[in-house]
């Protein structure tokens, strides 16, 4: 599971451990998300294997790998390897939820190559930062109207009298709505007062716009030393314009739930390149492919190179499966003496917006 980090938290994924703690009967993690996505399902499966209740039942458990980076384990699994006729995937977050469909998704990487130069002399440099966004998993919170820190920040910079930019960073994962982002901008000293006044005004407007969804969102700026490299204004304009105008957030929703969305998840930069990670999702493959094509065309028009690195198709019930689903519903009701919720059925009661193996 990809970990989300708290502001200011550093973490080496190769050597550092998640530090869990219990509070009010729930497990949390110190400075990071818990990363319990697959862990919950694995725990349930191991419990079933060791439970005396199932000692006379034939259960085979399958553990796939690389679920977060393209379902790579599941994609090379031969159906002949599985001994049973049916497979139950333990991937829901609630014990009383049955998932029978999943949205599809595509991992897109948009890179803008740029020839940086030494920062122009005599300009003032400022670090502009947005933080305090609500964020959350894009598959759950994309329809809440929260601020995407990356796109919101570039929209603000687009309204400022800047000359150059540098060190543009934000977000932690493609499937997480970014809560913070920062950028260095240079300003002609003659425009410094206008820059500060306009930025303060835009910050106030932002607080009002997101008062209900992101009450703690804030824009800050501080004067800083010139960076080691800078992007010239023409390149900066292409980057800022493309990110500002890219489709992002909720695209389509019905009374039954989310159908289509896209999330700008991360942005990184160095002296040679700016890279974005974007995650479109849709409940059907034709829509997903169209949204993916639109996003790729948009960034290519602004000089980016865009590549797809991982495509997970949408899937749903086949004609033969409703009988099996009904068997599960009846079994659950018999065992737990209550009905379970059916998500993503043929009536589209809900569409599951997490990638499932």
Kindly report, residue by residue over 179-192, the tens digit of the pLDDT.
Answer: 999 999 999 999 99
10 Å CB burial of residue 127 (0-12, 13-18, 19+) is middle
My answer on whether 111 and 124 are in the same domain is yes
Q: What is the pLDDT of residues 239-296, one digit of tens each?
A: 999 999 999 999 998 776 788 999 999 999 999 999 999 999 998 899 999 999 999 9
Residues forming a β-bridge with 342: 98
Give the span between the Cα atoms of 183 and 126, in whole angstroms. 8
Question: pLDDT exceeding 90 applies to what percent of the chain?
Answer: 54
Find the domain containing 55 and state its range.
20-103+314-343
Based on the structure, what is the number of domains in the chain? Answer: 2
Residue 349: band (very low, low, confident or very high) from pLDDT cuts 50, 70, 90: very low
pTM, rounded to two decimals = 0.79
My answer on whether 71 and 139 are in the same domain is no
Residue 13 lies in a domain: no
Residues forming a β-bridge with 166: 184
My answer on whether 321 and 253 are in the same domain is no
Q: The dihedral of CA 172, 176, 179, 182: what is its sign?
A: positive
My answer on whether 221 and 110 are in the same domain is yes
My answer on whether 94 and 110 are in the same domain is no
My answer on whether 68 and 83 are in the same domain is yes
Helix (H) / strand (E) containing 300: helix 285-301
Helices 192-209, 149-157: crossing angle, 10 deg rounding = 140
My answer on whether 143 and 64 are in the same domain is no
- Average pLDDT on 70-80 reads 80
Residue 15 lies in a domain: no
My answer on whether 219 and 123 are in the same domain is yes
Q: Which of 8-12, 120-124, 184-188 has the highest mean pLDDT?
A: 184-188
pLDDT at 76 over 90: no
My answer on whether 213 and 85 are in the same domain is no
My answer on whether 70 and 125 are in the same domain is no
Residue 49 lies in a domain: yes
The gap from C-alpha 126 to its chain's centroid, in whole angstroms, comes to 28
């Amino acid at each position: 599971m990809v970990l989300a980090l708290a502001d200011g938290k550093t973490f080496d994924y190769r050597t550092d451990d998640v530090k869990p703690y219990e509070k009010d009967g729930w497990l949390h993690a110190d400075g990071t998300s818990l990363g319990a996505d697959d862990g919950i399902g694995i725990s349930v499966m191991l419990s079933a294997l060791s439970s005396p209740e199932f000692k006379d039942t034939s259960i085979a458990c399958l553990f796939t790998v690389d679920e977060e980076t393209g379902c790579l384990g599941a994609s090379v699994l031969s159906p002949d390897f599985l001994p049973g006729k049916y497979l139950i995937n333990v991937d829901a977050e609630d014990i009383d939820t049955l998932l029978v469909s999943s949205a599809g998704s595509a991992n897109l990487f948009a890179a803008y190559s740029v020839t940086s130069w030494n920062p122009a002399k005599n300009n003032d440099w400022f670090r502009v930062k947005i933080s305090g966004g609500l964020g959350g998993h894009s598959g759950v919170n994309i329809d809440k109207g929260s601020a995407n820190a990356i796109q919101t920040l570039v929209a603000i910079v687009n309204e400022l009298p800047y000359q150059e930019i540098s060190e543009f960073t934000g977000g932690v994962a493609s499937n997480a709505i970014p809560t913070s982002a920062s950028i260095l901008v240079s300003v002609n000293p003659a425009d410094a007062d206008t820059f500060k006044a306009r930025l303060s005004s835009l910050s106030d407007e932002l607080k009002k716009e997101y008062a209900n969804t992101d009450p703690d969102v804030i824009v800050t700026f501080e004067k800083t030393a010139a960076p080691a490299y800078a992007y010239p204004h023409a390149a900066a304009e292409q980057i800022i314009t493309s990110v500002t105008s890219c489709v992002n957030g909720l695209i389509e929703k019905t009374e039954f739930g989310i159908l289509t969305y896209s999330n700008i998840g991360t942005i990184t930069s160095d002296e040679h390149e700016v890279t974005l990670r974007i995650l479109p999702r849709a409940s059907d493959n034709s829509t997903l492919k169209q949204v993916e094509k639109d996003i790729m065309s948009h960034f290519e028009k602004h000089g980016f190179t865009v590549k797809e690195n991982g495509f997970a198709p949408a899937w749903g019930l086949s004609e033969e499966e409703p009988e099996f689903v009904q068997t599960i519903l009846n079994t659950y009701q018999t065992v737990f003496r209550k009905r379970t919720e059916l998500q993503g059925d043929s009536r589209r009661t809900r569409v599951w917006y997490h990638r499932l193996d």
